[in-house]
């Protein structure tokens, strides 16, 4: 659970009028390291990155970490038209988020759907990316995994309480994550479900299921978009038990990208939780090696000590600072 001063909350308005939510994990000292933007999976949100964001904002290479709840997820507003839950539109929200914050040449951590957005972003706005972590996603999506996800999106019952939420999460993910402790299961439950009046509620728009039911055959292969990332280093994480990203695809990614490294997360499926120390260390080392020798200006306005040029503080809460802006 998040505690005081761990992050600042950001609300901004998308170009089509939706109120979207993000977080800023600010290091305790002014950072000249590459800032990171975290993009979550199809039904997931900023909370998935809390543990790794705290780790990346401290240590020998402290850096600013931002997370974004894409439309219809987490604390972002739902879209009245489910057809807008599409990678190109969600990519535009990411572009607006980064432009608002003055970010360029940033690091991206993209889990599943977030990784697809990163690949498309590399082709559409290459200057925004400086290094990319693809968490259990690649240019080829295995139909077995996609069918499994389609089987539960929009169909998970609303839990009666947090113990019930943990039971549901254990049933959904226990097979592919056999080493999850009871504490891990409860933590993931708090990541997936929103909270209202102390009780769990849905953490995404159920209409997201219509995006999957509308698919006609297997999703297209994104090799051209992936190859647009050749100019930046890439780390691909694969869960040992993943049914969405195959070993064969990871091998092919390595053949096509000269600066790609791979890390397997043992005893985890789709998608790795980014909570274990070896994975966090692998990601931290990757970004440390990707940092460029400059004064931070090459990463945009993050060389400044504050964000007064893009936002204003509007309120505070026991767990965070909140700021708002429009694009």
pLDDT of residue 29: 87
- Distance, in Å, from the CA atom of 135 to the CA atom of 263, rounded to the nearest integer, reads 10
Q: Give the tens place of pLDDT for each residue, 10-54.
A: 999 999 999 999 999 999 888 889 999 999 999 999 999 999 999
160: left (phi over 0), alpha (psi -120 to 50) or beta: alpha
Residues 189-201 as b or e (16 or more Cβ within 10 Å = b): bbbbbbeeeeebe
Alpha-carbon separation of residue 157 from 75, 164, 196 (angstroms): 19, 10, 16
Coil vs helix vs strand at 62 = coil
Return the structure tokens found at 216: 């006609």
Model confidence at 315: pLDDT above 80: no
Q: pLDDT digits over 141-176, tens only?
A: 999 999 999 999 999 999 999 999 999 999 999 999
pLDDT score, position 282? 98
Catalogue all structural domains in the chain, each as residue range(s) with its CATH number: 7-144+221-326 (3.40.50.1820)
3-state SS, residue 84:
helix
pLDDT of the residue at 310: 41
pTM here is 0.91
**Predicted confidence (pLDDT) per residue in 246-278, tens digit:** 999 999 999 999 999 999 999 999 999 999 999
Selection from 203, 208, 227 nearest residue 48 by Cα: 203
Instruction: Read off the pLDDT of each residue in 201-208 and give the average, rounded to a whole number.
Output: 97
Q: How far apart are CA 100 and CA 307, in angstroms?
A: 10
CB 151 within 8 A of CB 171: no
**CB of 109 closer than 8 Å to CB of 49:** yes
Task: Please provide the average confidence, as pLDDT, over all residues in the chain.
Answer: 90
- Residue 284 structure tokens: 């931290």
């Amino acid at each position: 659970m998040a505690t005081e001063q761990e992050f600042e909350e950001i609300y901004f308005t998308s170009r089509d009028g939706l109120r979207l939510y993000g977080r800023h994990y600010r290091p305790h000292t002014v950072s000249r390291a590459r800032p990171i933007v975290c993009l979550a999976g199809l039904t997931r949100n900023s909370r998935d990155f809390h543990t790794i964001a705290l780790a990346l904002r401290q240590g020998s290479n402290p850096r600013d970490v931002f997370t974004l709840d894409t439309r219809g997820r987490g604390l972002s507003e739902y879209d009245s038209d489910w057809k807008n839950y599409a990678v190109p539109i969600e990519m535009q929200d990411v572009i607006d988020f980064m432009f608002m914050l003055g970010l360029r040449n940033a690091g991206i951590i993209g889990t599943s759907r977030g990784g697809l957005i990163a690949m498309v972003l590399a082709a559409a706005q290459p200057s925004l990316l400086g290094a990319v972590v693809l968490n259990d996603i690649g240019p080829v999506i295995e139909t077995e995994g996609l069918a499994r996800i389609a089987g539960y999106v929009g169909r998970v019952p609303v839990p009666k309480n947090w113990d019930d939420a943990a039971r549901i999460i254990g049933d959904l993910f226990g097979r592919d994550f056999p080493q999850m402790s009871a504490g891990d299961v409860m933590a993931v439950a708090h990541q997936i479900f929103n909270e209202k009046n102390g009780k769990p509620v849905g953490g995404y728009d159920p209409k997201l299921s219509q995006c999957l039911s509308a698919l006609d055959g297997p999703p297209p292969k994104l090799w051209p978009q992936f190859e647009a990332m050749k100019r930046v280093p890439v780390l691909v994480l694969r869960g040992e038990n993943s049914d969405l990203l195959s070993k064969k695809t990871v091998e092919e990614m390595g053949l096509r990208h000269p600066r790609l490294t791979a890390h397997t997360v043992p005893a985890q499926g789709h998608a790795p939780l980014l909570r274990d120390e070896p994975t966090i260390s692998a990601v931290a080392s990757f970004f440390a090696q990707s940092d460029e020798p400059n004064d931070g200006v090459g990463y945009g306005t993050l060389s400044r000590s504050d964000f007064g040029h893009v936002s204003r503080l509007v309120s505070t809460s026991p767990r965070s600072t909140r700021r708002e802006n429009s694009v």
